[in-house]
Amino acid sequence: MTYAAPVDDMRFVINELADLRTVAALPGCEEVTPDLVDAILEEAGKFGAEVLAPINAIGDSGCRWDNGVVRTPEGFCDAYQQFVDGGWNSVPFDPDYGGQGLPWLVSTAVSEVWHAANMAFGLCPMLSQGASELLHTYGSDALKDLYLPKMISGEWTGTMNLTESQAGSDLAAVRTRSIRDGDNYRIVGQKIFITHGEHDMAENIIHMVLARSPDGPAGVGGLSLFLVPKFIPNPDGSLGDRNDLRCVSIEHKLGINGSPTAVMSFGDDGGAVGYLIGQENAGLAQMFLMMNNARLAVGLEGVGIAERAYQLSRAYALERVQGRMLGGDDPSSVAIAHHPDVQRMLLSMKSQTEAARALAYYVGACIDVSNRHTDESTRRRFNALVGLLTPVVKGWSTEIGIEVANTGIQVHGGMGYIEESGAPQHLRDARIAAIYEGTNGIQANDLVGRKVARENGATVTEFIAMVRELDKELATGNSEDLKVIRAELAGAVSELANATEWLLKAFPADPRRVAAGSMSYMMLLGYIAGGWLMARAALCAERRLTEGDGSSDFYRAKLVTARFYADTCLTKAASLRKAFERAGAALSRLDPERHL
Residue 178 burial (C-beta neighbours within 10 Å; 0-12, 13-18, 19+): buried
Burial of 280 (0-12, 13-18, 19+ CB in 10 A): middle
Helix (H) or strand (E) holding 66: strand 64-66
CA distances from 282 to 149, 169, 287, 463 (A): 25, 18, 9, 31
Any catalytic annotation for residue 376? no
Question: Residue 104: left (phi > 0), alpha (psi -120 to 50), or beta?
Answer: alpha
> Residue 294's closest CA among 194, 174, 166?
194
Instruction: Give the pairing type, strands 184-195 and 261-266.
Output: antiparallel
Whole-Å CA distances, 530 to 138, 199, 221:
34, 37, 37
Catalytic residue (one of 164, 354, 403, 437): 437
- As a whole number of angstroms, the distance between CA 165 and CA 176 comes to 11
Query: Which run of H or of E encompasses 333?
Result: strand 333-335
Residue 545 parent element (H or E): helix 518-546
The Cα–Cα gap between 91 and 10 comes to: 17
Strand partners, 212: 177, 223
Nearest Cα residue to 558 out of 544, 537, 533:
537
**Comparing C-alpha atoms, which of 249, 256, 346, 349 is closest to residue 301?**
256
Q: DSSP character for 204?
A: E
Cβ neighbors of 578 (< 8 A, separation 6 or more) are: none
Write b or e for each residue in 60-95: b if 16 or more Cβ atoms lie within 10 A of its Cβ, otherwise e.
bebbebeeeebbbbebbeebbeebbeeebbbbbbbe
| Active site positions, annotated | 437
